[in-house]
Structure 1
């Protein structure tokens, strides 16, 4: 049997099922991963936005309290002269407010410090302030919260909260200033430092010009940030949340809020990589939870594909063997037990078609006897198996004259008539065949020459005794040869019977001749 080419249906079905399962699992896993990623992302964005908004509100409230404290001091200082005599009262005020301020100064209108209360008492007295914040305080003569700036002496970022001082004649004489160092220990710094978590989240603040004024990395203080979208939106007065890539090319979930009193941008952010580990755990959990279901589905799919493909495979194998095998007449359809409607219909159709083809291949279309091909296969098989047999060849005498006189249709009827008599006078296990044209034959299985001769004579006499389709009798000439089961070639057996038949024709027709080695006729 030849090598089968192409994929088997069972393999195709299994590949289809496995591919469908894997594709479904991949899509399901992807959408689960996507939904969880979106959920985690939105959760961190919302959390950081709410925290930034709360921190902006707390910072606003804290700055208002600090400004109120400075306003209170300035109102009391208005009743006092700006001199060293106010130092004692200033120390009392500072002691009550030192958790808000790093220093409280009383400054005259020439920006000279006349009193100062700090951890290093008297350090600033007599110093003339040169900062832009001090100029603005003198120029505007109104309560102010300055933008962060670098102190000329300390070189540290600070914010100055000031309130003007007027004398009894309502003349401007100076201002009270509370300084807040943004990196030192004070209420503002503590408020902004609460969002440091172990997962990498932190808070930073930028002034309205985009300078960092609070950041966990002290080396970045006062750095100008122009590419951070969250900062740009916050200092423009907006609040919200978004995923950003910062100036150091790292991705974060950032919530931002605007502090209206100072115009600062407050950002609370968490590294975007924080969700990688939960997503990995999700994928592995999906894989381990889906594995048993996958195995069960695979086993069911294997069984179903086996039940579907087995009958089809048997039909395909049978068809291939039937085509390639020379013993077409011996082929039997496989028994197909399937509940699948299409498989049962296919089996029935193939069976019917095969029987029809087998019949057409084996039988002569006109007479219904076995054809020349079947004869050749049968005699070769019997010789190969060592089966003894006798070959009878017969030819209708003067058949050409019948065709010429009565026409080919009558001639075909004569052939059919002769075939029917051959069937009548032969045995059920003998092979009756049409050798070609008006020549017929019988393979007598297991018979002797005497038995075959007797059968041939009865046949010859029976044909001659009845009226044929021409209205009169027809006659046949017969030649007989035999094989005793010993090794021989089919060609030789046929040639011997053909010579015997020729002898019958030469010696007067309508007679039977048995081939003998001495060419003795009978």
Structure 2
């Protein structure tokens, strides 16, 4: 049961108990003004507190769910890009080795080349050469399959297709599930010589565990899993689940159709999850990041409990002050009542001195101020919570939720916009070399530098990680480019918290060219080109 409901039940039972006693004692006498005033103030404050907490709880929960979904989608997309790049790198590495062997096929040092390849490339569990008949001639490291004919589906597919392939998971000659990346070999006359293959053993330590294995969040229960093109698990924190069919998971169904996105789903184990997902184009696999919805609900309860912890003492003090005010109010009102009774009993002499009315006005204003103070305090706290939900705690910039809200308003107003998407170059090396605390200092330094250069011409946001966004309303694309270059140049020559300058890559887009819906995607693609072109530059969409 939530703290709000527990408090409500205790207060309600206490009030009803006191009410029964008071009713029994005052059937003939009636209620005093002090009691009625105190009861009115108490109920007003409790109702205001209850409604504010109820509304605030739902608002915080919705915000946390939205932020969790967004972050899971962003993480899934980034991991999908990383996995896609990794497989392209594997294929390119095999292609280079195959080219070396093809150019001098007769030199007979295939084993040496395989050993050399594996010594500099740790992405594969093993590297091997298979001839056109499917016999494994050489392997690194050497294993029991060397000299035997491979009858697995992966080997048969590589020999039949005679082209670079990334296989679906299959059971190899060692009776263990694996994925094979293969590159065909041809001599100068175009005769097929076999293929070079690299294996990734799914139930052993592999490159997937290196990339994905450190993600599970014990506190929130978040984790990552990867499915192949048939919806079967090929990576999962629980290795015993590899090979399970999870196509009934709605997010898996989406990613198998090569869609990326986010949604609240019930997974194959019947657990309510907040899922973000993205496809891996080169393999037609899918990466899904999931967080149990219950963990977000629990976090909401913790936040509400924290608010109550600091609010209830103030409310208790406010009620005591209200009771004292009610006592003072009763005296001038009693005098007014006696005055009215006396007047009603007089038939001729109506010139009785009237009680000083300013006492009544003053005390009533105090009561109204007390109630207003209670509402103001609660509203202030809720405004503070709302501000926190839209502000990045580390840098003080607006966060992704604030960006979405402002973009919706700007789009509604048809405001011309330019968007800059910034990313710190090689930020991972900053964290690795100087530690995450110094990395946080670098993020705050960049945020301050951005605000200094943007000033009143735009709004700065932290999108997530080391990625930032600047939105410039009513600014031409050239002006936006000039500002981006000024910012980039300033960062390049200014000593950062790591005692040397950092660099940033910037992508620029304009709403009049790509629309509001495509504004961020266009800038993000431009940022990607800036990264690919050597970093530390501004690229326009």
**TM-score between both structures, scaled by the size of structure 2:** 0.54
Deviation at 1:22, TM superposition (A): 1.3
Task: Report what 1:458 is aligned to.
Answer: none
Change (3 A) 1:310 1:259: same
CA contact under 8 A between 1:106 and 1:114: conserved in structure 2?
Answer: yes
Would you say 1:168 and 2:192 are equivalent positions? no
CA contact under 8 A between 1:182 and 1:189: conserved in structure 2?
Answer: no
Deviation at 1:190, TM superposition (A): 0.7
Q: Deviations over 1:327-361 (max 9, x none)?
A: 999xxxx9984638999xxxxxxxxxxxxxxxxxx
Would you say 1:231 and 2:252 are equivalent positions? yes
Distance 2:359 2:208 in 1: 82
Task: Report what 1:145 is aligned to.
Answer: 166
Deviation at 1:251, TM superposition (A): 3.0
1:181 pairs with 201, 210, 214, which one? 201
CA contact under 8 A between 2:111 and 2:140: conserved in structure 1?
Answer: no
Distance 2:138 2:100 in 1: 14
1:339 pairs with 357, 372, 377, which one? 357
Counterparts of 1:296-307 in structure 2, within 5 Å, are 296-303=317-324, 305-306=326-327
CA contact under 8 A between 2:77 and 2:260: conserved in structure 1?
Answer: yes
Instruction: Let me know the Cα RMSD of the aligned residues.
Output: 3.8
Task: Report what 1:272 is aligned to.
Answer: 293
Change (3 A) 1:311 1:342: closer
Distance 1:254 1:133 in 2: 32
Would you say 1:58 and 2:82 are equivalent positions? yes
Task: Report what 2:273 is aligned to.
Answer: 252
Distance 1:237 1:230 in 2: 11
Would you say 1:242 and 2:252 are equivalent positions? no
Task: Report what 2:365 is aligned to.
Answer: none
Change (3 A) 1:338 1:246: farther
Task: Report what 1:290 is aligned to.
Answer: 311
Deviation at 1:317, TM superposition (A): 9.9
Deviation at 1:44, TM superposition (A): 2.6
1:110 pairs with 130, 133, 143, which one? 133
Higher helix fraction: Structure 1 or Structure 2?
2
Distance 1:285 1:159 in 2: 49
CA contact under 8 A between 1:148 and 1:157: conserved in structure 2?
Answer: yes
Distance 1:78 1:265 in 2: 34
Task: Report what 1:23 is aligned to.
Answer: 47
Distance 1:207 1:82 in 2: 38
2:124 pairs with 90, 101, 110, which one? 101
CA contact under 8 A between 2:180 and 2:200: conserved in structure 1?
Answer: yes
Q: Deviations over 1:402-438 (max 9, x none)?
A: xxxxxxxxxxxxxxxxxxxxxxxxxxxxxxxxxxxxx
2:239 pairs with 214, 218, 224, which one? 218
Task: Report what 1:402 is aligned to.
Answer: none
* Matched position secondary structure for 1:254: strand
CA contact under 8 A between 1:230 and 1:244: conserved in structure 2?
Answer: yes
Distance 1:342 1:47 in 2: 57
Distance 1:130 1:247 in 2: 33
Distance 1:300 1:338 in 2: 24
Deviation at 1:67, TM superposition (A): 0.7
Task: Report what 1:125 is aligned to.
Answer: 146
Q: Deviations over 1:418-464 (max 9, x none)?
A: xxxxxxxxxxxxxxxxxxxxxxxxxxxxxxxxxxxxxxxxxxxxxxx
Deviation at 1:57, TM superposition (A): 1.1
Task: Report what 1:74 is aligned to.
Answer: 98
Task: Report what 1:135 is aligned to.
Answer: 156
Deviation at 1:136, TM superposition (A): 2.0
Change (3 A) 1:48 1:90: same
CA contact under 8 A between 1:230 and 1:242: conserved in structure 2?
Answer: yes
Distance 1:4 1:136 in 2: 97
Distance 2:322 2:231 in 1: 64
Change (3 A) 1:8 1:149: farther
**Matched pairs, number:** 333
Would you say 1:198 and 2:221 are equivalent positions? no
* Matched position secondary structure for 2:204: coil
Deviation at 1:267, TM superposition (A): 1.6
CA contact under 8 A between 1:90 and 1:115: conserved in structure 2?
Answer: no
* Matched position secondary structure for 1:190: helix
CA contact under 8 A between 1:100 and 1:188: conserved in structure 2?
Answer: no
**Residue ranges of structure 2 left out of the alignment (5+ in a row):** 1-25, 362-541
CA contact under 8 A between 2:125 and 2:198: conserved in structure 1?
Answer: yes
Change (3 A) 1:52 1:113: same
Task: Report what 1:34 is aligned to.
Answer: 58
Change (3 A) 1:170 1:36: same
Deviation at 1:109, TM superposition (A): 2.0
Distance 1:109 1:52 in 2: 39
CA contact under 8 A between 1:146 and 1:160: conserved in structure 2?
Answer: yes
Distance 1:224 1:317 in 2: 85
CA contact under 8 A between 1:180 and 1:186: conserved in structure 2?
Answer: yes
CA contact under 8 A between 2:177 and 2:203: conserved in structure 1?
Answer: yes
Change (3 A) 1:34 1:126: same
Distance 2:66 2:211 in 1: 25
Counterparts of 1:482-493 in structure 2, within 5 Å, are none
